[in-house]
Amino acid sequence: MVKRTIKFTPIAASVALTLGLTACGSDNDRNIPVTPVEAFTATGDAQFNIEVTGKAVKGSMKSAVVTVMTLDASGQSVPVAFRSAASAEAESFSEEALSQDAADAAVEASKIAANPEVLTDESGRYSIYLDDDFTGPVYITVKTSAEGDDSFLRCDAYVGCGDYDVAPEADDVNDGDTAIEFGEWYKTDLELSVVKFIPAVEADTSGVSGAAGDLNVASSYKANVTFLTSLVAALLLDSGSSVDEDAIATASLNTVVQVMGQDAALLLSAIIGDLSNGGAVDLSDVDGEEELTDGILAIAQLSSSIQGLPSIGDVMSSIAAGIKSGQFKGNTDAGIAAIATMLQTAITNTANIFVAVATGDETAIEDALKAAFTANNPSATQAQIDAFAANSVGIAAKAKAAKDKAVKNGAATDAGLAAAAIKVKKALEVIGCTGAECTVGDDFYTALAAALTVEITASQTALTTLEMNIETAQSSLADVQAMGGDALTADNAAAFVSAVTLLKNEATTADLAAKAGSIFVKSQGYVTAANALVTQSSDYQQILDSATLLQTDASVAVTDTVAYDLALAALVAEAEAAIETFDVALAAAKLVAEDTADVADEKKSVADTAEAASTSALANAEGAMIDTAANATEALELAMTAVTAASDFAAAVDALEIAIEQALVAANAYLDLEGEGAQAMIDALTAMQTAAVAQGELASEQFVTAYNLQLAAETAVAKLEVLTSVKATSESLSTMTVLTGTGADAVADAADILADVIDELAEMGNNSGTGTSTRNADWDYAYSLDDLTLMLSNATTGEMINAAASYEGDKLVVAWGATLKGENDVSVELVTAATQTQALTDCVDFAAGTIDATQIDSCLVFTFDGAVTADNVDDAEILMTETTNHVEIMDGDSGFTGMLSLTADDATDSGSITLEGVSGDVDFKVMTTFIDSDMEEASALDITVNNAMGYTLSITGNESAGYTGDVMAMYNEMMMSFGTAAKTTNGLSITYIDGDVVDYTDVDLIDSSK
Residue closest to 548 by CA, chosen among 447, 459, 466: 459
Average predicted confidence (pLDDT) for the chain: 86
pLDDT, one tens digit per residue, over 288-322 is 888 899 999 999 999 999 888 878 888 888 999 99
Check: CB of residue 895 under 8 Å from CB of residue 737: yes
Going by C-beta distance under 8 Å and a sequence separation of 6 or more, which residues neighbour residue 237?
Answer: 71, 75, 76, 77, 139, 195
Going by C-beta distance under 8 Å and a sequence separation of 6 or more, which residues neighbour residue 438?
Answer: 257, 258, 326, 327
pLDDT band per the 50, 70, 90 thresholds, residue 5: very low
Q: Quote the percentage of the chain above a pLDDT of 90.
A: 53
Q: Are strands 48-55 and 61-62 parallel, antiparallel or unpaired?
A: unpaired
Q: How far apart are CA 289 and CA 551, in angstroms?
A: 18
Work out the angle between the directed axes of helices 334-359 and 382-408 (0-180°, nearest 10): 60
Alpha helix locations (H) across 268-326?
Answer: 294-307, 312-325
pLDDT, one tens digit per residue, over 787-820 is 888 888 988 888 888 889 999 999 989 998 888 8
Check: CB of residue 49 under 8 Å from CB of residue 132: yes
Phi, psi of 157 (to 5 degrees): -90, 125
What pLDDT sits at residue 1003? Answer: 65
Element (H, E) at 535: helix 512-536
pLDDT, one tens digit per residue, over 336-362 is 999 999 999 999 999 999 999 999 999
Higher per-residue confidence, 153 vs 862? 153
Element (H, E) at 833: none
Contacts 24+ apart (CB under 8 A), 28-31: none
Residue closest to 953 by CA, chosen among 745, 746, 748, 739: 739
What pLDDT sits at residue 216? Answer: 81
Q: In Å, how far are 200, 582, 727, 739, 977 from 990, measured between CA atoms?
A: 73, 88, 9, 16, 12
Residue 211 has pLDDT above 60, yes or no: no
* Collapsed DSSP state (helix, strand, coil) of residue 456: helix
Q: How far apart are CA 216 and CA 86, in angstroms?
A: 6
Element (H, E) at 21: helix 10-22
pLDDT, one tens digit per residue, over 54-80 is 999 988 999 999 999 999 988 899 999
What is the model's pTM? 0.75
Q: How far is CA 758 from the centre of its chain?
A: 68
Beta bridge partners of 967: 953, 979
Residue closest to 13 by CA, chosen among 35, 31, 37, 33: 37
- Strand ranges inside 763-810, DSSP E: 768-772, 779-784, 789-794, 800-808
What pLDDT sits at residue 391? Answer: 86
What pLDDT sits at residue 4? Answer: 39
Please tell me the number of Cα atoms within 13 Å of 345 on its side-chain side.
Answer: 16
Element (H, E) at 159: none
pLDDT band per the 50, 70, 90 thresholds, residue 944: confident
pLDDT band per the 50, 70, 90 thresholds, residue 1009: very low
Read off the amino acid at residue 297.
Answer: L
Check: CB of residue 210 under 8 Å from CB of residue 51: yes
Residue 173 has pLDDT above 70, yes or no: yes
Would you tell me how many other CB atoms lie within 10 Å of the CB of residue 37?
Answer: 12
What pLDDT sits at residue 208? Answer: 35
Residue 821 has pLDDT above 90, yes or no: no
Q: How far apart are CA 496 and CA 488, in angstroms?
A: 8
What pLDDT sits at residue 1008? Answer: 40
Q: How far is CA 388 from the centre of its chain?
A: 28
Higher per-residue confidence, 929 vs 530? 530
DSSP 8-state code for residue 88: S
Residue closest to 129 by CA, chosen among 89, 87, 160: 87
Q: Are strands 48-55 and 219-222 parallel, antiparallel or unpaired?
A: parallel
Q: Are strands 987-992 and 997-1001 parallel, antiparallel or unpaired?
A: antiparallel
Residue closest to 219 by CA, chosen among 51, 102, 7: 51
| Residue 615 buriedness (CB in 10 A; 0-12 / 13-18 / 19+) | middle
What pLDDT sits at residue 778? Answer: 85
What pLDDT sits at residue 23? Answer: 40
DSSP 8-state code for residue 31: P
What pLDDT sits at residue 21? Answer: 35
Going by C-beta distance under 8 Å and a sequence separation of 6 or more, which residues neighbour residue 240?
Answer: 74, 75
Which of 341-345, 519-523, 633-637 is modeled with the greatest confidence? 633-637
Residue closest to 464 by CA, chosen among 553, 540, 383: 553
Angle at 474 between CA 473 and CA 477, to 5 degrees: 85
pLDDT band per the 50, 70, 90 thresholds, residue 744: low
Specify the range with the lowest mean pLDDT, choosing from 98-102, 640-644, 871-875, 964-968. Answer: 871-875
Work out the angle between the directed axes of helices 382-408 and 362-376 (0-180°, nearest 10): 130
Check: CB of residue 140 under 8 Å from CB of residue 236: no
Residue closest to 154 by CA, chosen among 286, 277, 278: 286
pLDDT, one tens digit per residue, over 763-773 is 777 788 898 98
Higher per-residue confidence, 329 vs 470? 470
Read off the amino acid at residue 959.
Answer: E
Residue closest to 44 by CA, chosen among 112, 124, 145: 112
Q: Are strands 910-919 and 878-890 parallel, antiparallel or unpaired?
A: unpaired
What pLDDT sits at residue 2? Answer: 41
Q: In Å, how far are 499, 516, 690, 720, 895 from 505, measured between CA atoms?
A: 10, 18, 21, 51, 77
Residue 201 has pLDDT above 80, yes or no: no
Residue 636 has pLDDT above 90, yes or no: yes
Going by C-beta distance under 8 Å and a sequence separation of 6 or more, which residues neighbour residue 157?
Answer: 182, 304, 305, 307, 308, 350
